[in-house]
Amino acid sequence: GAVVSQHPSWVICKSGTSVKIECRSLDFQATTMFWYRQFPKQSLMLMATSNEGSKATYEQGVEKDKFLINHASLTLSTLTVTSAHPEDSSFYICSAEGPRGDEQFFGPGTRLTVL
Amino acid sequence: GESVGLHLPTLSVQEGDNSIINCAYSNSASDYFIWYKQESGKGPQFIIDIRSNMDKRQGQRVTVLLNKTVKHLSLQIAATQPGDSAVYFCAENGGATNKLIFGTGTLLAVQP
């Protein structure tokens, strides 16, 4: 149980285009999901907390108009990178909060490369 | 983008030896700690957790030790195997928001 999927697993796009990444909890419902970004040889940095039915909460320094988050159901959150640029190339990882409330189950990540 | 010159601390051990990975956490109010294993190109994988009312917890081949006095966490892996090669992160959960704060990570390299 407690499986989280992400789609796509990797994506290559041209500079200026937008890319949507999906995060799904497959066998449980998640009111809260989290989006992280990880650059090579670095740690995971929390970008935002996604709450079902309400606006996401962004961490300091993360542009909410650039990284659009939609948590429309209890099993799906999406992250859209708008007008992507090469510096947005990174590994994006989502997690879903489990029933206990303090545990997070992580997705496999999405590798974004912006040319 | 990639930061030039940045590197992860690396622990190199021989297969069969025990490994100890250390982590210093930042928030004295944190009450829940987790160790994750991350293989290249994959998401973090839960290994073991511990709450602040404990100082030791054991799993299968792994033990986590918590020293709240000095805000230190360690992960011990017994009889390290090549499949244990990965980056290991500690994470702390320090408040009502349930946000996780990740440590910098340690690359464990197991030599056959």
* pLDDT over 90 (residue B95): no
Kindly list the distances between the CA atom of residue B2 and the CA atoms of A100, B32, B85, in Å, as whole numbers in the listed order.
36, 31, 22
CB-defined contacts A:B, below 8 A:
64
For chain B positions 27-86, those within 8 Å of chain A (CB to CB) are 32, 36, 41-46, 49
Average the pLDDT over B8-19 and give the result.
95
Count Cβ atoms below 10 Å from residue A61 Cβ, excluding itself: 7
* pLDDT over 80 (residue B96): no
Q: What pLDDT, on a 0 to 100 scale, did the predictor assign at position A33?
A: 96
CB contact under 8 A, B93 and A102: yes
Residues A79-90 pLDDT 10s: 999 999 999 999
Cα–Cα distance, A98 to A103 (Å, whole number):
5
Cα–Cα distance, B98 to B108 (Å, whole number):
28
Rounded to the nearest angstrom, the minimum Cα separation between B104 and chain A is: 5
Beta strands in chain A (DSSP E): 4-7, 10-13, 19-25, 32-38, 45-51, 57-58, 67-73, 76-81, 90-97, 104-106, 110-114
Residues B21-31 pLDDT 10s: 999 998 888 99
Q: B102: phi > 0 → left, psi -120 to 50 → alpha, else beta; which?
A: beta
Count Cβ atoms below 10 Å from residue B26 Cβ, excluding itself: 10
* pLDDT over 80 (residue B100): yes
Whether A56 and A64 have beta carbons less than 8 Å apart is answered as yes
Q: Which helix (H) or strand (E) holds B33?
A: strand B32-38
For residue A66, what is the DSSP state?
T
Residues B32-60 pLDDT 10s: 999 999 999 999 999 999 999 999 999 99
Interface test with B, best of A36, A103, A114 (most B CBs within 10 A): A103
Cα–Cα distance, B75 to B90 (Å, whole number):
9
Q: What pLDDT, on a 0 to 100 scale, did the predictor assign at position A10?
A: 97
Residues of B in contact with A110 (CB under 8 A): none
Residues A27-61 pLDDT 10s: 999 999 999 999 999 999 999 999 998 899 999 99
Average the pLDDT over A103-112 and give the result.
96
Lowest mean pLDDT: which of A76-85, B3-12, B14-23?
Answer: B3-12
Question: Where does the pLDDT of residue B6 fall: very low under 50, low under 70, confident under 90, or very high at 90 and above?
Answer: low
